[in-house]
Chain A
Amino acid sequence: MRQKIFNVRVNIFLLIAVAVVLLVFLHATGILRPVENAILYALRPVQKVAYNAGLKFFAPENIESVEKLGVSNQELQNKLSNALIENARLHSLITKDEVLQQEIEYLKTNDYKFQAAQIIGKSPHAGTQIYILDRGLNDNVEVGMPIIYQDGILVGKIIESGANSSKMLLITDSNSSVGAYIQNDTNSPGIVVGKLGLSLEMQLIPQSEEITINQIVVSSGIEENIPEGLVLGQVSSISTQTEELFQTASIESPVKLDRLQVVSIIIQ
């Protein structure tokens, strides 16, 4: 008579362990990707409803319709282009530099394209600010693309893109860092980093730079996919220590970053 090596319970635990290893292997090799995409695609409409319901419950003043956003997308594109042009024009007026004159011409001919997307959920790790969007590779959304809100306010960037959905890293996430400068006389440079989903901080500002409260912080365009001139926020407080090489500034975003609904992805 055949003896059982393990009893039924041990067998099932072993089976589950093997199933977990197999699951990880299939995911790592990409074999599971079509199933994952299918699940995300199937859950997308349900998640939209749930997220919108959550917004109504927790932040009713933030509700926007996708139809309104679709109509305003073109207006937004024009506004952003005009803002960038105006920004460069002001610089050229101040510095009268031929290089900046050429930049005006570049901005005029440059045509940013946008893809509207809706936030449908959040990644289940309490320490991160990663939101799930309902657009993915099938909508030309790729990793690294910046995400803006309303009048060209930078709110995040794409960190992962599947077939029909993608993950957005909010700028207040501790993993986020954006090259930026303060719109003052010297365009004080620095890096805007997120602080555990709660706030923004601009670091590595040289001590010699003179910055004041309420000055506007914009992206510097150092990153490959993030254009210059996207608004990050305003300086709300400054921390200066004479023995340090750099000073830091707290930045306040003009939007409630944890209450976003419909955003625009800049398609390069």
Chain B
Amino acid sequence: MSRNILIAVMIIAVLTIQLSFIDPFTTGIAPISIILLFIALLAFRLEIIPLLWWSFGIGAIHEIFSILPFGTFTIITVLTSVALYFLLNNVLTNKSLFPFVLLAIVGSAIYNLLLLLASTVFYAMNSIEVSLYQVPNLWTGILLQALINGGAAFVLFLLIRLLTRRFQNQFLVRN
């Protein structure tokens, strides 16, 4: 129960910081997305069922602030979480520093590519006036965000390991 409350509080904090501290002062793709960092962290720590529901919650709250058709961010967030979970449990062999960094980088790439796809489709359908594709320095921005998220994941992992006993190396056993 206390873990669930902690996750809920973290979601609120992460969304607030991203939407009110980082996004308003960036043009184009934000250099860092702590929402994606948090999703990578959840994928790293949780099993599939709680991961899906928490991702759903993150996406649902995120929707309220968005101008894209309702449901877009929720679907993208859930799909990103699913992709990261399968990457961690079917491709990567252990839960250590570099898999976590890789999750953050891949998560950023997948999320932004899905957002680009959705944005382009809605733009083609005249549901929105501006596609993400028209944002200046789009690909540079996506790459930069992925790399910075990876760097932030590196620091976050070491911090959590330093402050808690969690994030010790684990080898994954496939069923």
Q: Which residues of A contact B (CB under 8 A)?
A: 9, 12-13, 16, 19-20, 23-24, 27-28, 36, 39-40, 43, 46-48, 50-51, 53-55, 57-59, 119-128, 130-132, 160, 167, 173-175, 196-198, 258-259
Report if A196-B136 is in contact (Cβ < 8 Å); known contacts: A43-B16, A175-B129: yes
Stretch at the interface among B72-80, B98-106, B149-157, B160-168: B72-80
Does A126 lie within 8 Å of B28, measured CB to CB? yes
- A151: min CB distance to chain B, Å: 23
* 6 tightest A-B CB contacts, nearest first: A50-B20, A121-B20, A24-B71, A122-B24, A127-B130, A58-B25
Q: In the complex where A16-B52, A20-B56, A125-B66 touch, is A54 in contact with B24 (Cβ < 8 A)?
A: yes
A174–B130 CA distance with the chains assembled, in angstroms: 7
Task: Give the docked Cα–Cα distance between A98 and B67 (Å).
Answer: 46
- Chain B contact-residue range equals 35 or more
- Contact yes or no, A50 B17, CB < 8 A: yes
Classify the secondary structure of B's interface with A: helix
What separation, in Å, do the CA atoms of A175 and B12 have in the docked complex? 30
B141 touches A126 (CB 8 A): yes
Please determine whether A20 and B75 come into contact, CB atoms closer than 8 angstroms.
yes
- CB neighbours (8 Å) of A27 from chain B are 63, 70-71
Given contacts A51-B24, A121-B24, A127-B132, contact A46 B74 (CB under 8 A): no
A174 contact set on B, CB distance < 8 A: 129-130, 134
Tell me the nearest residue of chain A to B53, going by C-beta: A16
Residue B21, interface by CB 8 Å: yes
Q: Which of A120, A124, A132, A258 contacts B27 (CB 8 A)?
A: A258
Known pairs A121-B19, A124-B62, A174-B134; list 6 more (Cβ under 8 Å). A16-B78, A50-B21, A122-B19, A126-B141, A196-B130, A258-B27
Neighbouring B residues of A123 by C-beta, 8 Å: 65-67
Q: Is B30 an interface residue (CB 8 A)?
A: yes
Report Cα–Cα, A58/B22, bound state, in Å. 10
Please measure, in the bound complex, the distance between the C-alpha atom of A48 and the C-alpha atom of B21, giving whole angstroms: 9
Q: How far is the CA of A13 from the CA of B85 in the complex (A)?
A: 13
Contacts known (A16-B78, A47-B16); A258 close to B25, Cβ less than 8 A: yes
**Which residues of the partner chain B approach A196 to less than 8 Å between Cβ atoms?**
130, 134-136
A225 to B82, CA, bound (A): 46
B97 located at the interface, meaning its Cβ lies under 8 Å from any Cβ of chain A in the complex: no
Which chain A residue shows the least CB distance to B145?
A126
Contact B66 A124 (CB under 8 A): yes
B119 at the A/B interface (Cβ < 8 Å)? yes
Given that A125-B119, A196-B130 are contacting pairs, would A167 and B67 also be in contact in the complex, using a CB cutoff of 8 Å? yes
Instruction: Tell me, yes or no, whether B158 is within 8 Å of chain A by CB.
Output: no
Q: A198 — which chain B residues lie within 8 A by C-beta?
A: 27, 136
| Contact between B19 and A124, CB atoms less than 8 A apart | yes
